[in-house]
Amino acid sequence: MPFLLFLIFLQPFALVTVQPRAHAALQPCSHATIHDHGDEIFAYVRSPNGKQPDSGVPAYKLSAAASVYQKLLHARGDFRLPAPELVMNDGQLYVAWMNSKKQQVGIEEKAYDICASFGADSLNALAALLAHELTHYYEKHDWTRHFSRNNANTRAGEQLAELDEGLKMEVQSDYLGGFLALSAGFDTYGIIPQLLPRVYKGYVLPEEIPGYPSLADRIAYANNAMGRLRELQLAFEVANCLTVVEGYEPALDYYNYILRDFQSRELYNNLGVLHVLAALPFFTREEMPYILPLELDMESRLRPDKRGFEENAEKRAALLAAALEAFGRAELLDKEYPAAWINKACVFLLQGAPDDARYWAGKARKLSEKLALGVETQYAQVLQGIIAAAEGDDEAARALLRPLAEGGSLVARLNLSILEGAAPAEPEPLNFAKGVERIEGLLLDDYLENPEPELQVDMGGNVFCGLQRLEHSKILVHYAEDGKKYAVFHLAGDSYDGATRLGIRRGADMEEVREKYAARSRAVGSRQGSYLVFPKENLLFRFDLQGKVDQWAVFRIRLKEGE
């Protein structure tokens, strides 16, 4: 079942003016509490012989930092707290900091320049530093210290003051900050352990600074944090791959695993989308003949192996209720989030509540138009057309869908086709067997004979995920019930110049892929690119905004008995 997975992570974000709150942390840790003109500074480091700021910084540096910062704020998507203001100065005191009274996250020009020294990884380094500070803020790492200070005359305050949680907070900020940056599209794995020595050298700092662990210890702690970041990153990548090939149930487990450590509106929204996708196979074509902005065909709803209506109704009702709960959690983080509203409207329509669906679709469309969110505006309009068609107002439905279809909207075109009674074509499958595709000369079936991932994460419940890197590719593994259920994906990397058996390689046009692979495919959309999945050939292709292949993969999957 193809679908449009809303708002994976990389979305445009409008610069907003806010009144932020700030945070601080306990000592001893790699952020010391110092006082500057009465303001509490939560500093990344305190330079003993630091230079006070005395002039402005080039506008382009602040602009570049602000661009990274806004992407981080947007990826976090937590608007329960106002976003702290980003500032930059030319001092050499703190590297980066949080000011709890001025409600700011700050970075010094010197630190910016050190990040720039990473060359191709300069924005990744900048993202790692800023995300570290934002994580302290959103994880409320200042709560314990503020409580103990404000209740110093109580036994509870004394006990909390004695706790040394600073190290834990720093490690957590490293790996959760890294995942936040990853969510925003930055590759920060391993950056902090490299950044620390450059900071100390650039600021001419001694390896031992009062109130901080030694430089060697900070690097060791950062490396430990990178291990946890790698586990979360692997779980996220496996969840994405499972989603693309309809492995919704294990994908839900992976998203829930990540949510134990990291919460964002997009993760909750995706969790809700997956619940809806898992519920759709329990609807017949007669019950829901149209293609919601969550899917691009109804193949799974046309299969003959339907169970009893009562079991279907019970199962789908539970899944839709879980979806609404997840969308509600996304709304708690951001009360004006049109993607969650569109998805809620889809659920209400499936639940037989068209009035509620119409309300939320209209609300989403209005806000999306106001914020100039093109994709969300289009999906809201498509959904309004589907609601009109479901209520028998074909004229209104055509009026909404036809302009979108003529403008290139695939989901609008498909729904207009359904409305007008057109039947989809049935392409013939290719006449070669599975298992013939190779990446870097490796047959995936041979790898499955003796998989030895270099990184393996125990997800609990006899479920594991793993990663194996090759020179120009990588293998992602989902492994459950002692191998009775599995999904394995071999993804060609950016540096791989090899081709598929039929000559498709990176840079190929979508029409060329469709021409050479005429079997039934499923189209899957996401913010990271559009996918074509060919289940019979065990192949998937990802396309960039220009419709060119920017990644392809071979996969094997068995998630049910008998597959």
Q: How do residues 463-501 score in pLDDT, each as one tens digit?
A: 999 999 999 999 999 999 988 999 999 999 999 999 999
pLDDT at 168: 64
The pLDDT of residue 355 is above 60: yes
| pLDDT tens-digit map of 333-344 | 888 888 889 999
Mean pLDDT, residues 60-85 taken together: 87
The pLDDT of residue 142 is above 70: no
The pLDDT of residue 31 is above 80: no
Mean pLDDT, residues 412-433 taken together: 65
What values do phi and psi take at 442, rounded to 5?
A: -100, 125
Q: What percent of the chain has pLDDT over 70?
A: 79
- Residue 135: closest CA among 190, 87, 80, 172: 172
Mean pLDDT, residues 275-301 taken together: 72
Q: Name the pLDDT band for 545 (thresholds 50, 70, 90).
A: low
Mean pLDDT, residues 294-312 taken together: 44
The first and second tokens of residue 370, run together, are: 């106001």
Task: Of 172-186, 262-276, 442-456, 460-474, give the lowest mean pLDDT range.
Answer: 172-186
536 near 491, Cβ under 8 Å? no
- Residue 465: closest CA among 445, 485, 446, 449: 485
The pLDDT of residue 127 is above 80: yes
Q: Measured on CA atoms in the order 497, 498, 503, 506, is the torsion positive or negative?
A: negative
Mean predicted lDDT score pLDDT of the chain = 79
Q: Name the pLDDT band for 74 (thresholds 50, 70, 90).
A: confident
Rounded to 10 degrees, the C-alpha dihedral 310/312/316/319 comes to 100
How many other β-carbons are positioned within 10 Å of the β-carbon of residue 317?
14
Task: For residues 523 and 532, give the distance between their C-alpha atoms in angstroms, rounded to a whole number.
Answer: 5
- Residue 542: closest CA among 493, 474, 501: 493
Query: Bigger pLDDT: 87 or 39?
Result: 87
pLDDT at 435: 53
Core vs surface per residue 222-247: b (16+ CB within 10 A) or e? beebbebbbbbbbbbbbbbbbbbbbb
Q: Measured on CA atoms in the order 321, 322, 325, 326, is the torsion positive or negative?
A: negative
The pLDDT of residue 365 is above 50: yes
* Structural domain boundaries in the chain: 32-233, 264-419, 438-558
Residue 455 burial class via C-beta count within 10 angstroms: exposed 0-12, middle 13-18, buried 19 and up: middle
Name every residue whose Cβ is closer than 8 Å to that of residue 159 and which is 6 or more positions away in sequence.
none
pLDDT at 529: 61
Model's pTM, two decimal places?
0.72
Question: What are the angstrom distances between the C-alpha of 60 and each of 64, 109, 117, 126?
Answer: 6, 11, 16, 14
The pLDDT of residue 15 is above 50: no
pLDDT at 40: 66
pLDDT at 562: 60
Residue 363 burial class via C-beta count within 10 angstroms: exposed 0-12, middle 13-18, buried 19 and up: middle
Q: Name the pLDDT band for 14 (thresholds 50, 70, 90).
A: very low
42 near 100, Cβ under 8 Å? yes
The pLDDT of residue 149 is above 60: no
pLDDT at 43: 80
Mean pLDDT, residues 241-254 taken together: 90
| pLDDT tens-digit map of 487-541 | 999 999 999 999 999 999 999 988 898 888 877 777 776 655 678 888 888 999 9
Cα Rg, the chain, nearest whole Å: 26
pLDDT at 167: 58
| pLDDT tens-digit map of 201-246 | 999 999 988 777 889 988 888 888 788 888 888 998 899 899 889 8
pLDDT at 173: 73
Name every residue whose Cβ is closer than 8 Å to that of residue 446 and which is 6 or more positions away in sequence.
none
Task: For residues 447 and 6, give the distance between their C-alpha atoms in angstroms, rounded to a whole number.
Answer: 33
Task: For residues 186 and 435, give the distance between their C-alpha atoms in angstroms, rounded to a whole number.
Answer: 34
Mean pLDDT, residues 389-401 taken together: 95
pLDDT at 75: 78
364 near 345, Cβ under 8 Å? yes
554 near 439, Cβ under 8 Å? yes
Name every residue whose Cβ is closer than 8 Å to that of residue 63 and which is 6 or more positions away in sequence.
none
Write out the DSSP string of 382-415.
HHHHHHHHHTT-HHHHHHHHHHHHHTT-HHHHHH
Is the peptide bond preceding residue 210 cis, with omega within 30 degrees of 0?
no
Give the 3-state secondary structure of residue 33. Answer: strand
Most confident of the ranges 93-97, 301-305, 362-366: 362-366
264-419: CATH topology? 1.25.40
Q: Name the pLDDT band for 159 (thresholds 50, 70, 90).
A: very low
- E runs forming strands in 353-472: 438-439, 442-443, 455-458, 463-469
What values do phi and psi take at 540, rounded to 5?
A: -140, 145
The pLDDT of residue 548 is above 60: yes
The pLDDT of residue 302 is above 90: no
The pLDDT of residue 445 is above 70: yes
Question: What are the angstrom distances between the C-alpha of 152 and each of 33, 40, 147?
Answer: 17, 18, 8
